[in-house]
Structure 1
């Protein structure tokens, strides 16, 4: 046992001097995120997910593959915040156009690389409806472009010239024009670092040659969310959704309007939830509003349930919107248009739906055996005889026919002559006839 312990001690000492093989280092990578088409709120939510995925994968750099004509300012500002707060360098590789909000995103990146034939600039803010832009918005956008240029040491005047056409930059643009630079001009004015035909060329320049490339692929849910959260799509979904549900209430059993309406509203809430604008509370509130509206039809709620339903639906839509002001405006427009369409449907097709079951429309036609009431006004002032006492109602005979009559308030015994003094529809009012003859009152001569 002693020798055995000595041998074990020697083995342990030798093992402590043995150099263990080094573990293989993880492969270094670059994370590429496409920024294509329009910049909108759905893209901002997608890029937030992309930046999180890049951070979790341990990427050495993030590349924004930019080719866009711009989009919404608020979405661009949200994306720019993600770019500036990124822990890894961000390279903006412009392979096509970086116009308007696209130029703003590129200016916020750590590096800008241009592909031959690409352009950057023309970032003037405009309203989609052609109306005059609020000066406060213009001032804000100008300060944002200036701050983006300052953050990375780029020419501030060129950044301002991309936004404000009234800024004059000698040798670059005259007053009244916007700065829009070609790839070579961007390099000459030190906005971009160089011209690189391919992304691999740009990565080699920045020291990422040989790094593996991870391409971010948005999920199907994120692609759907990007589409349905576009400002041009949201009003259409709400209008068609409200009309579809309303048509299903008017014309139950057809299913098609209800399915279309539910599908449109479902897409709206689904996109808002995937984009991070809404939670389940908005969906629950919307469903509660539908229940209230249905209950208002079948329960006499004096309008309370209907009002609660409309408020619940409106609140849910506003809560699910990326901006409450925009959501409120779109919801009011959608409700107004839906009300007009519902009015037309009710006028021309209301007889086919549930309303036909709630309204009594049976007519007492003569062909069905109903006899209309007789006109008794010709009997006024006729004289007859009671066959029952009038207390005050009873029966009397006129011209050999029995009629239900009522006295003028006094008790009239049986076998009393009565005279009709009032006829109201089928109601006959009689009065006991005086048996004594009429007395003529003599006129008293005037005294002198």
Structure 2
């Protein structure tokens, strides 16, 4: 094979906690203030990465962020030494401290939108970090994310890095969680599929009544322009507002695609038949047959899809051309979802294997297998230009597990976020991690003069 879809999973950080910050994400708000286990969370994520690596898939690691974010707290008026800044925020504004201590950078599906070289005008892989403007606790991520991505994909001959879009609601961008690419082979031109929740400037588009629509049409269009994508190979679709109001805060909670296959719910998109028809026509123009696997509401309800994260799964292309679906344990324990998956495997369709992973620490915070990974299609020369230290191996797996055991707590509550020792623990761990992954200085505390 001359090209691959590599998955770069977010490594859960030392301050993994459940602050319930993400309004519209039912799992996140439902587990607010429950004590977390950062060590177990990191180990669960690493186990998934290693298992997929062992199956022959290209697997990398994306580093966590520094938390609490002292720079953000200083910007909001807290002063003194770094430990004093954290202590003051804990006393005076614990909700702000919780937001600045969010575990959300672990969900690297929101880190950026990525377009492979086969689709872009200049023949390079393009990255745009998501501004995540809809939530304060996520809006502080993109600067560090951009530095980490540049350290992972440093060769400008192969990789182009853009700054995040303007940090304003009209250009709200949630990254690859609302972006999918369809193709025959990863190094051949494909069709890039952008899903948005609302249009900021055009009031003709419907909007959800209860929960926010985080991605805008205008943001998706801007990224397509920045990446130099051909309009003939781009499709824009709107999420069904009713599904957003049922907890489908990103498209990757209601659909997932890979190669020429879209696995999706009956209630995924506005004017769904038209959307599927446009995808089919544009792929047909490239000589590729589009395959839509639609899950009917009568088989799996939207509520069950959100509860189990059936669609927040990974579709991985196997050497025989069939697809493996990676799902969380919650799919196995949700009876109708598991029954549907068994029928799917026996249907003779493109998905013929399922693997179940225990990701409870992530699921309780509102993210499943697909949330944890950023997909990057790479040819052989581009893969060779990736920072090799971030690619999963037996040695890296052992090293990172030892690093986690050394630095991570096995219990963390929201009250612990005000402990200045936690900041020191996080910085000590991340300083060591940047050496393991050969990232250089990417964190604010490393960049401070």
TM range, normalised to the smaller chain? under 0.3
Structure of higher RCO (CA pairs closer than 8 Å, 6+ residues apart): 2
Instruction: Name which one, 1 or 2, has greater alpha-carbon Rg.
Output: 1
Structure with bigger helix share is 1
TM-score by length of 1: 0.24
